Structure formats: structure tokens, C-alpha cells
Amino acid sequence: MWNQVKEADFSCNGIIDAYDLMFVASRLEGGVRDPKDEVSGMISFTADKTQIKKGDTVTISVNAHDLVNVYALNFELLLDSTKLSSAVCPDNVCTADSPFEAGEFTEGMLDYSKSGETTVDGNDYVRFYGAFSFVGDSGPLQGDGVIATIELKALQDIDDIGMILNDVQVISSGGTIADATWKEDGGEEEPGTKPGEGENPGTGEEETPKPGDDGDTGIQAQQGTLLALFAAAGAAGMIIWRRKAHQ
């Protein structure tokens, strides 16, 4: 299954992410007329509660800060599955529908977010992978706003949610990728790089196993569907259909 993903994995990182969505979506509906290369910004994750009791509903907000020319974005959020479970995805698995509620800031964007369960170093996690992209000449995101929220149920009393974050990135319509990890000091972002360039270029081979490679439920199952999406003959129609379904 993972070898098949490479046929549609334009960013050469072993998964279908926001760059792959952007690569196709930016060419639809007449395409982006004035592609932008510059892109920057930060993304933070905040919970509406700090002291959580068993049975509580917890809302995590995904927040955008100082975005510049963001056409697409992605992030991975891992949460301890003994502490929290999705309030909207049966058995923590959402593959047909997004586990997130899009905010007004991202209204109208294509949402290919998924969720599942995974095991990393013997620990069990709920895995949420967020992937959002504009289509055609729409966008980009500028400034601050709420990207999305996710509803969770507490399975026990919790003092520390313990979010694990990976792949927090923003992408321009010209294909530039920038790290969007939140920096407490508000420091400047490192320059964005295109796949295959920079200090850690994509090679098409995973050198370090990523969370979800083993014991993943739901995430692998959606890869075949996404592969069909990115087949040249059906890419345009499927993305337009998915976009209308979310409007």
C-alpha cells in the first residue's frame, strides 16, 4: 500500500499531505494565475481546559498566527489514547469525513484531514492528520484565525494532555514549504524550501520511521482512495466533487 502511495506522493515523504493536495488543486478551475513563492506563519494548538475530569468534553483549537500567502497546510497531532478519544469519530477512525470542524478562517478550503489509531514505542495514540488546501485561484490565507477545532472525550482525569506534534507546515501556491511550528519567542521562521532542496531534502525514501507506520488503523485504509483521487484521469473531478460536498 505504501509503495502505491509514492505514485501520488509529489513531496516524496511517504504520505499524502497538503503539498500533494496543492500540487493538484492549484491546477484546477483554470489554475492559480499568480503563484506565490513566499510563505510564512505559525500554527499553535490550545485546549479549552487545563484541569480535565473523566467524561469531560475537551475542545482543541488549531490557531493560525501571522500567515502570509498560505495556500495549503498540514499537521499531525498525536494524543494518548488512554486519556482521550475522538468525540465525533467512531473508534477514533475518520476516513470518509474530517475529524475536524473547519473554522471561518478556512471556510471553503478542501479538507482531507483523517484520524486513526497508532502505536509508537509501545504507546497507543489517537492520530489526527490535518490537510487543508484551496482549489484553483482561491485563497491564500493571510493573518490570524482559527483553522479548525476538534472535540475530544476524556477517558480519565487529566492534568496534562501531552500533545505530540509533527509536520506542522504551510505551503504557498508556488510550492514553497515552510515550517510553521509555534515558537514561544515569536522568532523568525526558517526559510521555506521546495521538496528536494534545503538541509533535509525529500528523497522518496523514509529514513526515519514516522508515527503511524505500524499498527495504524484508518490512516492506511484511506491511502488507496487518495491514490485514485490523484490518478491523472480522475483528479480534477474528484477534488471538485469533494469540495462541493464540504460547501
Its domain, for residue 42, covers 2-245
| pTM of the shown model | 0.74
Per-residue pLDDT of the chain (247 residues; tens, 9 = 90+): 334 344 455 555 556 778 888 888 888 888 889 989 999 999 999 999 888 999 999 999 999 999 999 999 999 999 999 999 999 988 999 876 889 999 889 888 988 888 999 999 999 999 999 999 999 998 899 999 999 999 999 999 999 899 999 989 999 999 899 999 988 765 544 434 333 333 333 333 333 233 334 444 444 444 444 444 455 434 444 454 455 455 5
Alpha-carbon span 131 to 118, nearest angstrom = 18
Domain count, the chain: 1
Cell numbers given for 59: 475542545
Alpha-carbon span 142 to 71, nearest angstrom = 9
CATH, residue 56: 2.60.40.680
Tell me the DSSP string of 45-60. Answer: EEES-SSB-TT-EEEE
Alpha-carbon span 76 to 13, nearest angstrom = 14
